[in-house]
């Protein structure tokens, strides 16, 4: 089997998603990281790298890079508390 056939497609590639001007995930106050609970599920699933965590005190907190977000909604599916939503202007 050739190398190009073995390559798996990411969700973003499969759906043909690219960064969309203005559309991006927003993280609400229910986020576990905002409530002193270690959770990085959204960053783990984000293939675009739009959600990253930086240390603020004892717990790492999420930062969304809207210019990178493809609004694919993968992060919404894995958030255990439903703290994420996609903002589309």
Reported as a single tens digit per residue, the pLDDT across 46-69 is 999 999 999 988 889 999 999 899
Q: What is the pTM of this model?
A: 0.72
Domains in the chain (CATH in brackets) are 3-87 (3.30.70.20)
Q: How confident is the model at residue 11, as a pLDDT?
A: 57
Q: Are strands 51-56 and 24-27 parallel, antiparallel or unpaired?
A: unpaired
Structure-model confidence comparison of residues 16 and 27, the more confident one: 27
9 close to 72: Cβ distance less than 8 angstroms: no
Q: What pLDDT band is residue 24 in, cutting at 50, 70 and 90?
A: confident
pLDDT(7) > 60: no
Structure-model confidence comparison of residues 1 and 71, the more confident one: 71
52 close to 42: Cβ distance less than 8 angstroms: no
**Alpha helices (H) in 1-89, listed in sequence order:** 3-6, 11-15, 41-45, 74-78
pLDDT(4) > 50: no
**Is residue 56 packed enough to be buried (19+ CB in 10 Å), middle (13-18) or exposed (0-12)?**
exposed
Q: Alpha-carbon distance 39 to 59, whole Å?
A: 9
Mean pLDDT, the chain, whole residue set:
83
pLDDT(76) > 80: yes
């Amino acid at each position: 089997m050739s190398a190009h056939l073995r390559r798996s497609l990411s969700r973003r590639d499969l759906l043909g998603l690219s960064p969309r001007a203005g559309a991006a995930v927003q993280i609400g106050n229910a986020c576990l990281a905002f409530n002193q609970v270690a959770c990085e599920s959204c960053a783990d699933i984000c293939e675009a790298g739009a959600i990253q965590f930086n240390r603020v005190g004892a717990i790492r907190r999420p930062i969304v890079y809207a210019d990178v977000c493809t609004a694919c909604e993968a992060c919404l599916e894995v958030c255990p508390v439903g703290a994420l939503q996609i903002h589309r202007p």
